[in-house]
A and B are shown apart, each in its own frame.
Chain A
Amino acid sequence: MSKSVLDNLFGSRARVKILKFIFRTHPEHFTFRDVVQRTQESEEVVKKELSTLESMHLVRRISNGS
């Protein structure tokens, strides 16, 4: 399947999927599990992307879930 404009713009298909998920879910909260399940991406990839989004303050951690 060809890459969409957004995939090219953001440099990663997974990143766009994650962004779509989090904006669709907004204003609800979500967990790491939710993202992995919904986007069908690997835990590794999701972990990396989430920490990137968190470090640029687009995503914030609400609770640590202990």
Chain B
Amino acid sequence: MSPKKRTRTVKKKKKARRVVKRVVRPRVITPGPTYAVNKEFAFFNELHALILKPSPAERGELMRRIASLGRVKLAVISGVFLNTPDQSALIDTNAPTDLFLVADDYSKQKLSAFLKALESEVGKEIKFGIMDREEFMYRFGMFDRFVRVLLEGPHEKLINKLGI
């Protein structure tokens, strides 16, 4: 092969590649601009702590809203609801759920609306679990792993009509 011929084939290849790119490009979905919090913001740490601080008033409000879902026997919060910013990473990975309910009688519609609203307020997806009283007592009695991890880890009972 002469040198001249070789360069020609290379050129051809390059051209071919360019054409492929042009075909692919329009297929890429444009996700829109990407944002991030600016860590250099003057009050970054203070604002971060303030915004993510769990407040007692919110907890009372949460309790009222859960109680209004139906006959809730037990409501346990953990994970995201207990977080203070500095320990968030630690608790997040350990908590099996953020919100756990035991209820016999509740409206699924109300529940999903409640969860959606709650997620929008918390700013994060909520790991959620619900059981009826019978299943919970069975699992509680046999030291079920899920129940044990939840109740032995950091948590708080907002409603407790089961005396556990």
Contact = CB atoms under 8 A, between A and B. Distances in A.
B37 interface: yes
Contact of B32 (A1, A20, A27, A31): A31
Nearest to B125: A38
B31 A17 contact: no
Nearest to A22: B37
Range of interface residues on B (Cβ < 8 Å): 20 to 34
Nearest to B83: A24
Interface string A1-35: 11011100000000011011111111111111100
Interface residues of B, dominant DSSP: helix
Interface residues of A, dominant DSSP: mixed
B33 A32 contact: yes
Contact of A31 (B33, B38, B122): B33
A26 B33 contact: no
B117 interface: yes
Range of interface residues on A (Cβ < 8 Å): 35 or more
B58 A4 contact: yes
Interface string B17-35: 0000000000000111111
B35 A21 contact: no
A33 B33 CA distance: 9
Given A2-B61, A31-B31, A65-B30, A38 B120 contact: yes
Interface stretch (B49-57, B69-77, B129-137): B49-57
B34 A26 contact: no
Contacts of A54: 35
Q: Which of B34, B57, B123, B124 has the most chain A CB within a 10 Å cutoff?
A: B123
19 contacts: A1-B65, A4-B61, A17-B123, A23-B37, A24-B124, A29-B35, A31-B31, A31-B35, A32-B32, A39-B120, A40-B116, A40-B120, A58-B37, A58-B41, A60-B37, A61-B34, A62-B34, A63-B34, A65-B32
Interface of B: 30-41, 44, 47-48, 50-52, 55, 57-58, 61, 65, 80, 85, 116-117, 119-124
A-B pairs, 5 with minimum CB distance: A20-B123, A21-B123, A40-B120, A24-B123, A62-B34
